[in-house]
Amino acid sequence: MSDQSAAPVLAGRGLECAIGSTHVLRGVDIEIAPGEVVALMGPSGSGKSTLLHLLAGLLRPDAGTVTLSGQRLDTQPDRVRSARRLRELGFVFQFGDLVPELTVVENVELPLRLLGEQPARCRERALEMLDRLSVADEADRRLSEVSGGQAQRAAVARALVHWPAVILADEPTGSLDTVTGELVLEALVSAASDQGTAVLLVTHEMRVAAWSDRDIHLRDGAVVDAGVPA
Ligand code: ADP
Ligand code: MG
């Protein structure tokens, strides 16, 4: 269950970001509590992906702060930010970032391997996540040999595999049909309810927002509306 009274596990305050001459984010405030599922919505170009990158410490804001698990993320050195990103966050990129030369299961194991887990335990846990997303049959195929939808589910499995405190997912159901899209949503929502993972997911599908506790709308780099899905 979401616990909105708890201290936020992730908070962005007064976030400003310019890319080139574009003022992409204009003073965004956002917070997510442990176990909450929040849908981030808004038209193409409104700054959703940029906001996720700032919250993950992949990009530094021009102004404002990012606090993860009670500690500032944005001001830490790159090496510390990368280590915290690995341990505390799962990220599903809008355009994928899995390694094509590795197999599906090797991609999913990667966070656990980097965190120093036992290889056998890594594989077991990765297969469990792939099974939950109905792609376990593809586990030993190279990523470059599976379909886009299968790769996308592998990306979601990888984001969940190391029990992160927060998952940031950029259009995780974007290229999926209804049935596989629901598998992804179920996996994300159960991470929230079973493990208290906070989930922030970008979507422009209303049916996806219906799975969330709350939605936040961005327009031209500012929050225009935040509420509960109808
Ligand atoms: P969304 O995910 O909501 O579609 P983005 O965060 O990707 O929006 O982009 C917001 C704005 O920032 C857009 O105007 C986009 O053109 C611009 N932008 C984002 N990334 C870059 C980049 N790497 N280089 C130039 N402009 C960018
Ligand atoms: Mg985007």
Residue 70 makes CB contacts below 8 A (sequence gap 6+) with 7
> Mind listing the pLDDT tens digit for each residue in 136-184?
999 999 999 999 999 999 999 999 999 999 999 999 998 899 999 999 9
3 CA → ligand 1 middle, Å: 32
Residue 219 makes CB contacts below 8 A (sequence gap 6+) with 42, 43, 46
Residue tagged 């939605």 (tokens): 215
Atom 26 of ligand 1 has which residue's CA nearest to it?
A: 19
119 CA → ligand 2 middle, Å: 34
Atom 23 of ligand 1 has which residue's CA nearest to it?
A: 19
Question: Ligand 1: residues within 6 Å at CB?
Answer: 19-20, 22, 24, 42, 44-50
The confidence score (pLDDT) of residue 4 equals 56
95 CA → ligand 2 middle, Å: 9
This model of the complex carries an ipTM of 0.94
The confidence score (pLDDT) of residue 157 equals 97
- CA-nearest of 196, 203, 209 to 4 is 196
Cβ–Cβ < 8 Å for 57, 91: no
The confidence score (pLDDT) of residue 230 equals 46
Structure tokens at 187: 């996996």
24 CA → ligand 1 middle, Å: 7
Would you put residue 63 in left (φ > 0), alpha (ψ -120 to 50) or beta?
beta
Choice from 15, 22, 59 to test ligand 1 binding pocket (greatest atom count within 8 A of CB): 22
* Spatial separation of the C-alpha atoms in residues 179 and 186, rounded to whole Å: 11
The confidence score (pLDDT) of residue 174 equals 85
Q: Which atom of ligand 1 is nearest to the CA of 20?
A: 25
Quote the DSSP letter at residue 164. Answer: -
Structure tokens at 64: 């404002």
CA distance between the termini of the chain = 19
Q: Which atom of ligand 1 is nearest to the CA of 94?
A: 2
61 CA → ligand 1 middle, Å: 14
Structure tokens at 184: 């992804």
* 3 state SS of 126: helix
Cβ-count burial 14-34 (b if 16+ within 10 Å, e if not): ebbbeeeeeebbbebebbbbb
Choice from 17, 24, 203 to test ligand 1 binding pocket (greatest atom count within 8 A of CB): 24
User: Which domains does the chain possess?
Assistant: 10-97+163-223 (3.40.50.300)
Residue 22 makes CB contacts below 8 A (sequence gap 6+) with none
> Mind listing the pLDDT tens digit for each residue in 48-64?
999 999 999 999 999 99
39 CA → ligand 2 middle, Å: 13
* Spatial separation of the C-alpha atoms in residues 160 and 158, rounded to whole Å: 5
